[in-house]
């Protein structure tokens, strides 16, 4: 199963974007991870059903109320075989 790698640009640090991502991904039944990067972006890895991944990406364009997402870079990558979604 392919997975999706994302880099989220905008105001995504200090606005609970990672916590929101973990909660939302778990609600959608996705596995993967999310983490802050030193350059002010957020990196995420999503694994799961294509429909759930698509829904998650659509939601990530808005994120939590205090966030401002300017753009999301997306690429297909190999699945890591994860069984849950975590914050790194």
Looking at the annotation, which residues are catalytic?
18, 36
Pairing of strands 2-11, 68-78: antiparallel
Q: Residue 56 burial by CB count (10 A; 0-12/13-18/19+): exposed, middle or buried?
A: buried
């Amino acid at each position: 199963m392919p997975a999706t790698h994302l880099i989220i640009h905008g105001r995504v640090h200090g606005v609970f974007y990672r916590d929101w991502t973990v909660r939302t991904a778990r609600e959608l039944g996705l596995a993967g991870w999310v983490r802050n990067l030193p350059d002010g972006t957020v990196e995420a890895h999503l694994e799961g059903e294509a429909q759930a991944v698509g829904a998650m990406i659509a939601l990530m364009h808005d994120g939590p109320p205090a966030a401002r997402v300017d753009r999301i870079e997306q690429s297909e990558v190999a699945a890591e075989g994860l069984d849950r979604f975590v914050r790194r």
